C-alpha cells in the first residue's frame, strides 16, 4: 500500500480520444430562514403539496402564507394554478418571469401528498431535479426553494431527509457529462437557499454530507460513461491512485499487475484477462479513519470489466447490448464513487477495503476458450462452459482476496446477469445473501439512500446444475434462475462464516437516455456509516 502523487492518466491508442475537462457542479446549498419577500436572486421556487392550493369563495388561497405571497406577486400564483390546472401533483411544474421584484422568476413544483413525502425521498429529489433543470434553462445563478403549506407538519427527521434529497436532486440534476462533446452549455447555478425546513448544525451537516455523496455518484457516472478506448484497466488503476492521492490522510492504494496476480494464483481472474492487449490491474484502496480505533473492517468488491465482448461466446444479435458493454464496470464505478465520498466524510471506527479486479474480456488466440478449466486462488477448479459468464470469474479471486484481509463483512456489486434485469427491471437491484442481518443492514441503507434493492432467494437446490463432471464446478447453469446460480457460484469463494452479500446491479446502473446512474454509491456510503462508530 502506498501514498502517492496524482498521476497522469494513460491515453487512448484507439481513436485518439482524450476526454475534456469534467464540469462538476459547485453549488452552495444552505438552510435559511430568510423572508422571501426580501430575498434577492434569480428564481424563487415553491414546493407545493396536493391539497394546499384550495381557495375560498372569493377565489383567494385559504392558506394564509400562500395568500400573502400571492398578493406580493400580484396574483400570479393564482393565475398559474387556475390557468394551468396546477394542483401540486408529482411531476407538475410551472415557471413564470417577473419584473420589478427581487427575483426574476417564480416557479411552482408539485410534491404530491404530504403522506408520501414522509415515507419516500423521491418527491424531494424530484423537486431538486426540477429546480436544476429550470436553472440551467434560464442560466440562473441563485435560487431559493420555499416549502410552503404543511412543512410545519413534517417531522424533524423528514425535514432533514427532505433537505438531503433536494440537495441530491440539485447537484445531480445540474451535472451533465460533457467530456466528449466539442460544444456544450453547463449550469450556472452557484447558490441555493432552502427555506421552510428549519436551520441548525444537524441539518447543515446533512446537506454537506449529501454534497460529498453526490460527488461520489458523479464520479461513478463519469466512469461508467467513459468508453472502453478511454477507460482501460490501467486508466481505472490510475483513477484509484488519484483518488488516494487526493485523500492521502485516509486512503492508501495498492495496484497489483499481472505478475503479482500470478504469484497469488488468481487463475480465474487472469483467465478472463488473457485475450486482451490491455493488461489487467488488480486494485485495492484501503480507507482508515484519521483517528481512533478501528472496530469494524469491511470489504466492498466491484466487478471491473472495462469492456465485455463476451469472449468466444461473443455477444451477437438484438439485445446483446455489446455496444454499451463499457458499463460492465458499473460495480467498480460504485466502489470508486463510495471510496471518494467516504474519504471525504471520514466515518470513525471503520476500515473499508475497496477491491476491483479490472480487466477486459476480449478474443484472441491466447484467450480463454469454452471448455477451459481455470483454477482460482483458493484451489477450486472451474470449467468454462460460457466465456460470456466472465464477471463471476474475476469476482471469485477478488472475493478470496477480500476474505484473506480478515474483514468482518463483504459486499460485492456487479453488472452480473441479464436474468436479474428480466426479473427486476431497470430500477431495482437484486440482493443475494445468506445473512438475514446483513440483508436488513443493506435494505435500511438503500431505503435511506432512495435506491431500490430486492432480496432474492439463494435456492441451494439450483447448485446441482453448476456441477461439472471433470472440475469442481462450471461457470454458468441453465437460463432459468440465472441470477440465482450466479450468486451461488460466488458463494463458493466466501468463507461460510463470513457475512457476505452480492448485489446484482445490471439493471439500474445504466439508462439508455442518460447513461450511467451512479447506482449504489449512496447505499454503500450509508451502509459504511451505519457500521461506523459515529
Question: Tens digits of per-residue pLDDT, 180-229?
Answer: 998 888 899 999 999 999 999 999 999 999 999 999 999 999 999 999 99
Residue predicted with more confidence, 431 or 54: 431
Residue predicted with more confidence, 148 or 432: 432
* pLDDT band, very low/low/confident/very high, at 13 (cuts 50, 70, 90): low
| Confidence check: pLDDT of 150 > 60 | no
Question: E strand or H helix at 505, and its extent?
Answer: none
| Confidence check: pLDDT of 59 > 90 | no
The rounded distance, in Å, linking the Cα atoms of 339 and 344 is: 9
Beta-carbon contacts of 117 under 8 Å, excluding residues fewer than 6 positions away, are 49, 111, 123, 124, 154, 158, 162
For residue 325, give Cα distances in angstroms to 142, 225, 384. Answer: 39, 10, 21
What's the grid cell of residue 170?
A: 440539485
Per-residue pLDDT tens digits for 450-486: 999 999 999 999 999 999 999 999 999 999 999 999 9
What's the grid cell of residue 62?
A: 385559504
pLDDT at 108: 96
Backbone angles phi, psi at 17, to 5 degrees: -85, 130
| pLDDT-wise least confident of 22-31, 152-161, 296-305, 437-446 | 152-161
Residue position matching grid coordinates 400571492:
70
3-state class (DSSP) for residue 354: strand
pLDDT at 154: 87
pLDDT at 236: 97
Q: Which residues are catalytic?
A: 315, 392
pLDDT at 64: 86
| Confidence check: pLDDT of 325 > 90 | yes
| Confidence check: pLDDT of 101 > 90 | yes
Residue predicted with more confidence, 1 or 382: 382
pTM of the model: 0.95
| Confidence check: pLDDT of 2 > 80 | no
3-state class (DSSP) for residue 442: helix
Parallel/antiparallel/unpaired status of strands 515-516 and 510-511: antiparallel
pLDDT at 4: 57
What's the grid cell of residue 79?
A: 393565475
Handedness of CA 522, 526, 528, 533 (dihedral sign): positive
pLDDT at 10: 63
| Confidence check: pLDDT of 9 > 80 | no
- 237-251 average pLDDT score: 98
Per-residue pLDDT tens digits for 255-295: 999 999 999 999 999 999 999 999 999 999 999 999 999 99
Q: In what order do the strands lie in the sheet with 373-375?
A: 373-375, 381-383, 473-474
SS3 sequence of 24-75: CCCCEEEEECCCCCCCCEEEEEEEEECCCCCECCCCCECCHHHHHHHHHCCC
| Confidence check: pLDDT of 349 > 60 | yes
By the 8 A CB rule, do 389 and 487 touch? no
pLDDT at 417: 97
| Confidence check: pLDDT of 152 > 90 | no
Helices (H), 106-195: 114-119, 122-138, 156-174
3-state class (DSSP) for residue 256: strand
Mean pLDDT (the chain) is 95
- 344-348 average pLDDT score: 98
pLDDT at 3: 60
By the 8 A CB rule, do 367 and 296 touch? no
* pLDDT band, very low/low/confident/very high, at 63 (cuts 50, 70, 90): confident
Neighbour tally for 2: CB within 10 Å: 11
pLDDT at 291: 94
pLDDT at 21: 87
pLDDT at 51: 87
Closest Cα to residue 10, out of 168, 284, 209, 235? 235
Amino acid at each position: 500500500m502506498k501514498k502517492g502523487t496524482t498521476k497522469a492518466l494513460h491515453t487512448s491508442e484507439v481513436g485518439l480520444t482524450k476526454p475534456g475537462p469534467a464540469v462538476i457542479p459547485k453549488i452552495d446549498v444552505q438552510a435559511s430562514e430568510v423572508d422571501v419577500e426580501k430575498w434577492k436572486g434569480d428564481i424563487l421556487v415553491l414546493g407545493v403539496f396536493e391539497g394546499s392550493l384550495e381557495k375560498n369563495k372569493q377565489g383567494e388561497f385559504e392558506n394564509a402564507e400562500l395568500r400573502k405571497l400571492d398578493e406580493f406577486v400580484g396574483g400570479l400564483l393564482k393565475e398559474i394554478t387556475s390557468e394551468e390546472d396546477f394542483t401540486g401533483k408529482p411531476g407538475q411544474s410551472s415557471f413564470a418571469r417577473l419584473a420589478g421584484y427581487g427575483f426574476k422568476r417564480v416557479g411552482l413544483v408539485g410534491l404530491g401528498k404530504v403522506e408520501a413525502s414522509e415515507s419516500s425521498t423521491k418527491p424531494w429529489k424530484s423537486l431538486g431535479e426540477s429546480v436544476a433543470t429550470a436553472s440551467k434553462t434560464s442560466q440562473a445563478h441563485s435560487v431559493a426553494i420555499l416549502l410552503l403549506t404543511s412543512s410545519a407538519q413534517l417531522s424533524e427527521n423528514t425535514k432533514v431527509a427532505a433537505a438531503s434529497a433536494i440537495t441530491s436532486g440539485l447537484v445531480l440534476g445540474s451535472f451533465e457529462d460533457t467530456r466528449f462533446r466539442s460544444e456544450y452549455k453547463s449550469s450556472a447555478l452557484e447558490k441555493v437557499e432552502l427555506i421552510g425546513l428549519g436551520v441548525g448544525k444537524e441539518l447543515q451537516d446533512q446537506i454537506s454530507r449529501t454534497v460529498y455523496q453526490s460527488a461520489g455518484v458523479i464520479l461513478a457516472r463519469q466512469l461508467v460513461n467513459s468508453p472502453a478506448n478511454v477507460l482501460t484497466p490501467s486508466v481505472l488503476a490510475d483513477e484509484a491512485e488519484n483518488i488516494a492521492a487526493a485523500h492521502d490522510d485516509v486512503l492508501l492504494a495498492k495496484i497489483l499487475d499481472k505478475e503479482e496476480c500470478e504469484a497469488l494464483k488468481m487463475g480465474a481472474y487472469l483467465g478472463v484477462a488473457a485475450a486482451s492487449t490491455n493488461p489487467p490491474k488488480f486494485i485495492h484502496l484501503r480507507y482508515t479513519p484519521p483517528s481512533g480505533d478501528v472496530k469494524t473492517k469491511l470489504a466492498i468488491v466491484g466487478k471491473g470489466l472495462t469492456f465485455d465482448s463476451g469472449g468466444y461466446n461473443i455477444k451477437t444479435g438484438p439485445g446483446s447490448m455489446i455496444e454499451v458493454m463499457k458499463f460492465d464496470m458499473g460495480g467498480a464505478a460504485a466502489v470508486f464513487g463510495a471510496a471518494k465520498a467516504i474519504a471525504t466524510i471520514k466515518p470513525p471506527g471503520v476500515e473499508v477495503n475497496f477491491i476491483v479486479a479490472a480487466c477486459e474480456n476480449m478474443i484472441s488466440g491466447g484467450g480463454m476458450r469454452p471448455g477451459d478449466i481455470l483454477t482460482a486462488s483458493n484451489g477450486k477448479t472451474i470449467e468454462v462452459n460460457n466465456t460470456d459468464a466472465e464477471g463471476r470469474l474475476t469476482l471469485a479471486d477478488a472475493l478470496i482476496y477480500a476474505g484473506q484481509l480478515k474483514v468482518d463483512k463483504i459486499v460485492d456489486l456487479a453488472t452480473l446477469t441479464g436474468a436479474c434485469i428480466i426479473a427486476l427491471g431497470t430500477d431495482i437491484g437484486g440482493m443475494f445473501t445468506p445473512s438475514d442481518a446483513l440483508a436488513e443492514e443493506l435494505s435500511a441503507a438503500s431505503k435511506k439512500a432512495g435506491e431500490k434493492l430486492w432480496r432474492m432467494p439463494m435456492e441451494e437446490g439450483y447448485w446441482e446444475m453448476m456441477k461439472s463432471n471433470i472440475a469442481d464446478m462450471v461457470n454458468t447453469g441453465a437460463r432459468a434462475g440465472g441470477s440465482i446460480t450466479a450468486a451461488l457460484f460466488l458463494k463458493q469463494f466466501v468463507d461460510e462464516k463470513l457475512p457476505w452479500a452480492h448485489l446484482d446491479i445490471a439493471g439500474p446502473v445504466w439508462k439508455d437516455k442518460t447513461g450511467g446512474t451512479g447506482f449504489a454509491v449512496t447505499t454503500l456510503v450509508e451502509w459504511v456509516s451505519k457500521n461506523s462508530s459515529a
